[in-house]
Amino acid sequence: MQTTPELIFHDVDRSAWVETYILERVQRLERFAEGITSCRVTLAQEQASHHKGNRYSVLVEARLPPNHDLAAKKGKVIHDMQQQLPALINLAFGAIERQLKKAAELRRGEMKKHAERADGQLDGIVEKLFEEGYGFLRELGDDRQVYFHRNSVLHDDFERLAIGTEVSFTPQEGDNGPQASSVQIIAKL
């Protein structure tokens, strides 16, 4: 890795065992894709519920050249930090590892580049999602980002989308650049 990983703790006490565990997982990321230029891991306690327990999330963000950003976020209610937090960390790192593998395969040309099909659809991966009801995806084999709105996601599946979800989409040129007029889930990470 070209830079020191950044660890961020939000409303979670910093502890040596958590830092060590996360840093071990970060070091293993190079096995999945060479040339990671930055990595940030955020461990956060989200809104607490007195009835259900505390909800925690782990967000792993990595950057590959040339400015290819990947992110995976996983969350769950945790009652026993020592037992359940490593499992949550593993879920987030498993998701980012799958994304890194795909990105590395594309860079090496091992995955076939998906050309436009007869129906005009392209294949892509969801890169960014916003609670306001929109996001960005990246066409496989291309570095351009494509905007989409929740209304363009077929079968009311916007809530099922996550960063890294494989989709097929119909591209069109919008007022502010490329956008998807329809988005359909192919496979979820």
Domains in the chain: boundaries: 6-108, 122-187
How far is 133 from 140, CA to CA, in rounded Å?
Answer: 23
Both structure tokens of 107: 């860079």
Confidence grade of residue 115 (pLDDT, cut at 50, 70, 90):
very low
Instruction: Give the residue among 131, 62, 73 at the shortest CA–CA distance from 103.
Output: 62
Which is more confident, 47 or 134?
134
Q: Whole-prediction pTM value? A: 0.59
The larger pLDDT score, comparing residue 189 to residue 92, is at 92
The residues pairing with 27 across neighbouring beta strands, listed in sequence order, are none
| CA distance linking residue 131 with residue 162, whole number of Å | 11
The answer, yes or no, to whether the previous bond of 66 is cis (omega within 30 of 0) is: yes
6-15, 68-77, 114-123, 174-183 — which is least confidently predicted? 114-123
C-alpha pair distances (Å), 96 with each of 33, 52, 58, 89: 11, 28, 11, 11
What share of the chain has pLDDT > 90, as a percent? 36
Among the four given CATH numbers 2.40.50.140, 2.60.40.1180, 1.10.287.130, 1.20.120.1200, the one describing domain 122-187 = 2.40.50.140
Confidence band for 114, pLDDT divided at 50, 70 and 90: very low
Mean pLDDT, residues 45-66: 80
Of 141, 124, 142, nearest to 183 (Cα)? Answer: 124
Tell me which residue of 179, 165, 31, 33 sits closest to 106, measured CA to CA.
Answer: 33
Q: Give the integer Cα–Cα distance in Å for 135 and 163.
A: 10
User: In which element (H, E) is residue 82 found?
Assistant: helix 81-108
Write down the CATH superfamily of domain 6-108.
Ribosome hibernation promotion factor-like (3.30.160.100)
